[in-house]
Amino acid sequence: MLKRGSTIGILGGGQLGRMMAISAAQLGYRAIAYAPEGDNVVREVCDDVFANTWDDAAALAAFAARCDVVTWEFENVPVATARAMPEGRIFPHPRALETAQDRLNEKRFVEELGGRPAAYAQVDTDADLVSAIDRLGAPGILKTRRDGYDGKGQWRIGSIRDAQGIRLPDTPLVYEGFVEFAAEFSVILVRGRDGEIRFWDSTCNTHEDGILATSALPAGEAIEAQVGAARELARQVADALGYVGVLTLEFFATRDGPVFNEMAPRVHNSGHWTIEGAVTSQFENHIRAVVGLPLGDTATVARRVTMTNIIGVDIDQANQWLEQPDTHLHDYGKAEVREGRKMGHVTQLER
């Protein structure tokens, strides 16, 4: 266990890192960040921020020298950067990044553990795409194997004709067959250094234009009937990776059981409700795990919880939410409003 006052290094500078740093301070730890991209909204809550490039060996060494432990806040941190941190002082282990950063490898990894992803095919050429559609059918979704998130790097394919109109990017792709589902949900767990695992309740997740709009509890019968099987897969993934920290797996609830969608080796947007809605938030438990503290209780504290993302609008427009009872606003501190950009979130509780 790291003593109070130790320094936690965070790779990345977005809102997830910001909320991690707040939880670190709550527990008596200092935080610094390595964040060469974006607004670096961690800056206001960290003791220092390195804005050097991901491959700056000297800067990475200087950053690591100031950290007692290192973690990351988003899954597109270069694996080489994570591996530049001292062995045994970065959690989760960088192999989690290696697994999650390639959608094809991720699906194969989950299949080996007995999980069931949507039917898929590797796509490297126009002919591969035609073959994939012929074999798996349409509609379907064509995705880049790397770097896509919040609906980016994805194309909906309704027919062979749609495929003929797409100019494939010069990057590896994967085609996924259509999944008929009743609802979408996520399984979020925390795994300690000693291997202990705790789960939060699974929310029903609603997306708009590929971006999470709301996460709500209770999740409904379709999801609740499948959470047990989904948790078992998530547990196997965490154990196989020797994972330490918060891990998220997303699923479709179908008539044949849970279908794996993707995993995020980090705290997750669909877990933001836990800040007010659970005994211990995902952010606090992530910090507890990586510094070696006992894990906190993950029980839900309200009868109903709804987390709503504030997307692409000035955060001041969300102030009206605060007129409602037991409502909590989180402003991410982003200066520039853009379409599709998450500016903050609101959580409402009914106790």
Q: What is the CATH number of the domain that holds 171?
A: 3.30.1490.20
**Does residue 189 sit in the same domain as residue 168?**
no
Q: How far apart are CA 206 and CA 192, in angstroms?
A: 30
Residues spanned by the domain of 11: 7-90
Last residue of a domain, one of 41, 69, 90: 90
Prediction pTM value: 0.96
167 and 204 inside one domain: no
Number of domains comprising the chain: 3
Mean pLDDT of 113-128: 94
Domain presence at residue 104: no
Nearest Cα neighbor of 76 from 118, 13, 27, 1 is 13
Domain co-membership, 54 together with 142: no
State the residue for tokens 């070696």: 292
Q: Is residue 30 domain-shared with residue 68, that is, in the same domain?
A: yes
In a domain, 56, yes or no: yes
High-pLDDT (> 70) share of the chain, %: 98
Q: Which of 22, 2, 20 is nearest to 11 (CA)?
A: 20
Measure CA 22 to chain center: 18
Residue 14 falls inside a structural domain: yes
Q: 85-94, 245-254, 334-343: which has the minimum mean pLDDT?
A: 334-343
Among 177, 193, 208, the domain-final residue is 177
Do 127 and 196 sit in the same domain of this protein? no
Binding site residue list for ATP? 103, 143, 148-154, 176-179, 184, 207, 261-262
| Partners of 191 in the β-ladder | 197, 245
CATH number of the domain where residue 196 is located? 3.30.470.20
Last residue of a domain, one of 155, 177, 199: 177
Which of the four pLDDT bands, split at 50, 70 and 90, describes residue 119?
very high
Residues making up the annotated binding site are 103, 143, 148-154, 176-179, 184, 207, 261-262
Residues 6+ apart with CB under 8 A from 232: none
